[in-house]
Copies of this chain bind each other. A is one copy, B any other.
Amino acid sequence: MSLLVVGSVAYDSVSTPAGARDNSLGGSAMYFSIASSYFADPSVVAVIGDDFAEDDVALLRSHRIDTSGLERKKGKTFRWTGVYGAEDVNTRETLDTQLNVFADFSPRLSPEHRRSDYLFLANIDPDLQLDVLDQMDPRPRLVALDTMNFWIEGKRKALTRVVKRVDVLFMDEGEVRSFAGEANLISAARTIHEIGPKTVIVKRGEHGALLFDGGTPFAAPAIPLERVVDPTGAGDCFAGGFMGYLAASGDLSDGGFRRAAALGSVMGSFAVESFSADRVSSLTQQDIQDRFDQFTEMLRFPAVADGETLPWRSGRRGVCR
């Protein structure tokens, strides 16, 4: 089924403990669409400047991503410069943000894009996210949203308005706590369920993600990697694997969401293995299958079978005080 992403396409200059790369293809919509393209038929809506390389459009097209919603405007493409900590690659500092053509981004969806079955509202101004959602007709089967602290602090009202209307919310741990106003993660997830989203995916970087759906959460660990190059885009590739799987399988059951989170972990793990989308854009099905098997193996353990009991100490009574 059709999958639409509205977000950013950018040129990033990134420095990490593993090295540095200037002016390389980035942006949430870019990462998301490539990661999801292994499963679904993504369309991307974003704005690019007149400096945007034809080769980069061609890369997206080579993944059979519908780029008809890639609006080219006079001016420069959105540019971001950041550095990741030497001690903790999970902490990053933004050195420079040049919004450029992104400053006046006002997505107008084509009639076809409005009918998309699955929608991912990548991290942009919540007013724009709301505007996109209003343009959808009929309402998509599933809407997911990603955001960041900048909007939680600066546009909480607008953000809450759009969050109310989505099915799946992606946030990192600190954002969930800050948005819900709850230090405890379980309470915070519950508060967000009450606002609207049935599914809350708490991203924890190298510690993986937790999927809250009102029942026992699903713990989707990050796959430990020998080579961590650049975490940029990992969250969007997680979302791409997640939504790509759901759009491709149409399976919105509890098990479907859990498997989607597994594929999210898998696609996120590829994202961090290179700068830009070098790795995530050059995968074989076997690469993905192998890492999915590795994820499966990470979670495998012998549960207690029917009729089996844990090896309780003999004669141990229930409560000992």
**Chain A residues within 8 Å of B, Cβ to Cβ:** 17, 37-41, 62-64, 183-187, 204, 207-208, 210, 215-221, 224-228, 245, 248-249, 255-256, 258-259, 261-263, 281-286, 288-289, 292-294, 296-304, 309-313, 316, 318-321
- Please list 25 pairs of residues, one from A and one from B, whose beta carbons are closer than 8 Å in the complex, sorted by A's number: A38-B312, A38-B316, A39-B310, A39-B311, A39-B313, A62-B320, A62-B321, A64-B320, A186-B226, A207-B207, A208-B219, A216-B294, A219-B219, A219-B299, A248-B312, A258-B300, A283-B319, A284-B319, A285-B310, A285-B316, A292-B304, A292-B310, A293-B304, A296-B304, A299-B301
Assembly CA distance A235 to B259 (angstroms): 31
Partner of A303, one of B186, B249, B281, B296: B296
Tell me whether A41 and B219 are in contact (CB under 8 A). no
Integer count of this chain's copies in the complex:
2
A310–B37 CA distance with the chains assembled, in angstroms: 13
Shortest Cβ distance from A283 into chain B, in angstroms? Answer: 7
6 closest residue pairs by CB, A with B: A219-B221, A258-B301, A248-B311, A284-B318, A207-B207, A216-B297
A228 CB contacts on chain B under 8 angstroms = 184
Shortest CB-to-CB span from A71 to chain B, Å, is 24
Complex CA gap A217/B296 in Å reads: 11
Q: A89 to chain B: closest CB distance in Å?
A: 9
A297 → chain B closest CB, angstroms: 4
A224 pairs with B210, CB closer than 8 A:
yes
**Nearest chain B CB to A82's CB is how many angstroms away?**
20
In the bound complex, residues from chain B placing their C-beta under 8 Å from that of A204 are: 207
| Contact yes or no, B224 A301, CB < 8 A | no
A298-B248 in contact given A38-B316, A187-B226, A321-B282 (Cβ < 8 Å):
no
Contact B299 A299 (CB under 8 A): yes
Taking a contact as CB atoms closer than 8 A, the residue among B216, B227, B309, B319 that contacts A282 in the complex is B319
A185 — which chain B residues lie within 8 A by C-beta? 224
Could you tell me the distance in whole angstroms from the C-beta of A266 to the nearest C-beta in chain B?
10
Assembly CA distance A311 to B208 (angstroms)? 23
Using known A-B contacts A216-B294, A301-B261, A311-B248, determine if residue A285 contacts B318 with beta carbons closer than 8 Å: yes
CB pair A302 B186 closer than 8 Å:
no
Kindly state the separation between the CA atoms of A284 and B312 in the bound complex, as whole angstroms: 11
Residue of B nearest to A37 (CB): B313
Contacts of A64 in B (CB 8 A): 313, 316, 320
Residues of B within 8 A of A296 (CB): 303-304
Complex CA gap A211/B312 in Å reads 23
